[in-house]
Amino acid sequence: MINKKIEKALNEQVEKEGYSSSLYLAMASWAETKGMAGVAQWLYVQSDEERMHMLKFIKYINERGGKAIVPAFKQPGKENASVKKMFEDVLKHEQFISSSINEIVALCTTEKDYTTLNWIQWFVNEQVEEETNATQILDKLNLLGEKNLYMFDRDIMSLRGKAAAGTADAT
């Protein structure tokens, strides 16, 4: 059974993962309207993956005798200044999520909740991958330069299979 402090922290993470899903969905939709099918596809898959992360938290809270709360999610921005700025925002957001997961790890230690500590390791590893993916995409953008967005869009399309596999892992 999880204690109230852990339950609260996990429920806060439900909100953060759900917001991540909305954020990437909004970015996907924006990219689609700009004709960037590859970027949009990558972000749509990413949004699905975040929804799976949210579900993992919801199910774990309930399984451990807590009560998962599905909150209202704040509305993400509608516009992005550029593709590069958008992926910089993705990386920044993932760094924020990593620090949030690390705070839960620290809380599990102080609360001596070794079951949740063990369970959350999946997310610790997942965050390494999330930050690496965003960094690699920014590296590609820097290599190609923003003038070569068509090539970048084609290239990111080839990452779709890998991202989709990540979604399957999250179930």
Residue ranges in contact with ligand OFO by CB under 6 A: 17, 20, 50, 53, 94, 97, 130
Nearest approach in angstroms of CB 64 to ligand OFO is 20
Of 94 and 153, which CB lies nearer to ligand OFO in the complex structure? 94
Nearest residue to ligand OFO, by Cβ distance, number only: 20
Q: How far is 113 from 91, CA to CA, in rounded Å?
A: 30
Nearest approach in angstroms of CB 51 to ligand OFO is 9
Of 53 and 120, which CB lies nearer to ligand OFO in the complex structure? 53
Of 90 and 117, which CB lies nearer to ligand OFO in the complex structure? 90
Burial class (CB in 10 A: 0-12, 13-18, 19+), 84: middle
Q: How far is 167 from 171, CA to CA, in rounded Å?
A: 7
Nearest approach in angstroms of CB 112 to ligand OFO is 26
Is-contact 98 127, C-beta < 8 A?
A: yes
Is-contact 41 92, C-beta < 8 A?
A: no
Of 21 and 30, which CB lies nearer to ligand OFO in the complex structure? 21
Q: How far is 35 from 146, CA to CA, in rounded Å?
A: 15
